[in-house]
Structure 1
Amino acid sequence: MTRTDGYLLDNRQAEAKQRFDTFADLFDPTTFRHMERLGIGYGWRCWEVGAGGTSVVSWLAKKVGPTGRVVATDIDTSWVSAAGRPPVEVRVHDVGTDEPPGEGFDLVHARLVLVHVPDRERALQSMIKSLRPGGRLLVEDADPALQPLCCLDEYGPEQQLANRLRQGMRSLLAERGADLGYGRKLPRLLRDSGLRGVEADAYFPVASPACAALESATIRQIREQLVTAGIATDEDIDRHLANVACGSMDLATAPMISAWGRKA
């Protein structure tokens, strides 16, 4: 991740660990499928940008083996530090302002990172700069504007409350500089940056236990901001969390768009 003023979903909060776990449940299969397609293998040098948790870093370490290298960076490495043993190197790093942590990478990956970075263009160019010729870039980011609802099937007051809170969260993210339509721009941005063979797809979870766990962790994490902004009352939030815990609602997440290409 990168430093922002008043970042809404701070890694230092206790709920961050649950969010990272649900990201792994929801998105790791898609991420790993793309990395396999890009040819990840023994001896590869990889940079995991905004690592957050350990699931992707640990998977990469197994794939590259003892002859490879995985550099895992974030501005807060509290949760990823447990993976910091060879071939993994964990570094405190701000992708939006710092120089790349090396060059000649075979694969650079960022998931759910750039949408929150104020200087997204600089971050993207830094990632491309760090690639070797022929190296692969895989960027995966959400597009909340493409699908703004928490409950696609809004048939009752529980779903209406869930969607109101999701709308409030989107407003808070936008106020803090998040680009809620960033995911859809990725193919164009990668092509305009000179990458070859650019492709993209999207994964859109509609309902799963992991979606419910992510919703609960996220709402708990931003509860104070929702109340302070007048978006919801404590009673609203308690009611929503109870509704989520009941397991009777189908909760969706924003589509995650994956885009990839190789450096000429």
Structure 2
Amino acid sequence: MMRTDRYLLDNRQTEAGSPFDAFAAVFDPTTFRHMQGFGIGSGWRCWEVGAGGTSVISWLAKRVGPTGKVLATDTDTSWMTSPTRAPVEVRVHDVGLDMPPGEGFDLVHARLALVHVRDRERALRAMIKALRPGGRILVEDTDPALQPLLCLEEYGPEQQLANRLRHACLTLLAERGADLAYGRTLPRLLRQAGLRGVGADAYFPVASPACAALETTTIRQVRDELVSSGLATEQDIDRHLANMASGGMDLATAPMISAWGRKA
């Protein structure tokens, strides 16, 4: 994800690796399904924006092969702990501030990234500029305002606490400049940018074990912020973590909206 000095989930935090694994478990199948639909194959040049973890770039690298290229960028690349091999290149880059790191890409992809960028409009323009004629863009972001609950059925105190803490996390994100309704705007923004064949869908997991893993790692990362801001107590957070660990809660995520288009 693109970082600012106010970004809530920092790569450099001790547990930053765990959220990447949880995001991959929840969202990779949807992302890969869309990319396969584009016909990605040998020789493609791909730009992974706000790469975060390694699951997407590893998947891309296998499909583009030694004649292709996968450029993975982020403002913090400390998540890449081992040396990369061709066709993967990792580069420090802020899509909201810097010029595109090249042009002529067959595919540009950003997942759960632009919502955290201050200048989202500039970032999207940079991504589109980097495409070759006929190149594809896939932008994926959640829309918490569309579905803000962690527990869709709030039938007991455990579910009520979970939803209260979810709202608290969304409050922190909004205070740091995240647009909690950004996902729904993506199809319109791609059409307005002149892209062809624009489409979109949404993925909305409910009662998935991966959702519990994602929520657990997220809460552990932001617990200090929640407590210091007065949005939750240490006891609230400990009880919520214990409730999830029991395995008896049906947890959901906000819908992730995937939007795509082709450069004319």
Shared fold (TM-score, shorter chain, > 0.5) = yes
Q: TM-score per shorter chain, which class?
A: over 0.9
Please give the residue correspondences for 1:31-110 in structure 2 after superposition, counting only pairs within 5 Å: 31-82=31-82, 84-110=84-110
The answer as to whether partners of 2:3 and 2:116 remain within 8 angstroms in 1 is: no
Show the counterpart of 1:234: 234
The answer as to whether partners of 1:58 and 1:83 remain within 8 angstroms in 2 is: no
Larger deviation, residues 15-24 vs 108-117? 15-24
Show the counterpart of 2:131: 131
Q: Deviations over 1:82-118 (max 9, x none)?
A: 3621000000111110111111000000000001111
Distance 2:12 2:149 in 1: 27
What is the deviation of 1:70? 0.4
SS of the equivalent of 1:72 reads strand
SS of the equivalent of 1:94 reads coil
TM-score (normalizing by structure 2): 0.98
SS of the equivalent of 2:251 reads coil
1:219 matches 2:219: yes
What is the deviation of 1:78? 1.6
Unaligned runs of 5+ in 1: none
Distance 1:80 1:96 in 2: 21
1:202 matches 2:168: no
The answer as to whether partners of 1:57 and 1:83 remain within 8 angstroms in 2 is: no
SS of the equivalent of 2:16 reads helix
Distance 1:161 1:3 in 2: 29
The answer as to whether partners of 2:44 and 2:68 remain within 8 angstroms in 1 is: yes
Unaligned runs of 5+ in 2: none
What is the deviation of 1:14? 2.2
SS of the equivalent of 2:72 reads strand
Distance 1:77 1:83 in 2: 12
The answer as to whether partners of 1:20 and 1:53 remain within 8 angstroms in 2 is: yes
Show the counterpart of 2:157: 157
Aligned residues: 264
Cα RMSD (Å)? 0.9
The answer as to whether partners of 1:51 and 1:80 remain within 8 angstroms in 2 is: no
Distance 2:2 2:114 in 1: 8
Distance 1:14 1:139 in 2: 28
What is the deviation of 1:21? 0.4
What is the deviation of 1:3? 3.4
What is the deviation of 1:2? 2.7
Distance 1:203 1:82 in 2: 31
What is the deviation of 1:61? 0.2
Distance 2:200 2:81 in 1: 31
Show the counterpart of 1:16: 16
TM-score (normalizing by structure 1): 0.98
Larger deviation, residues 9-18 vs 79-88? 79-88
SS of the equivalent of 1:133 reads strand
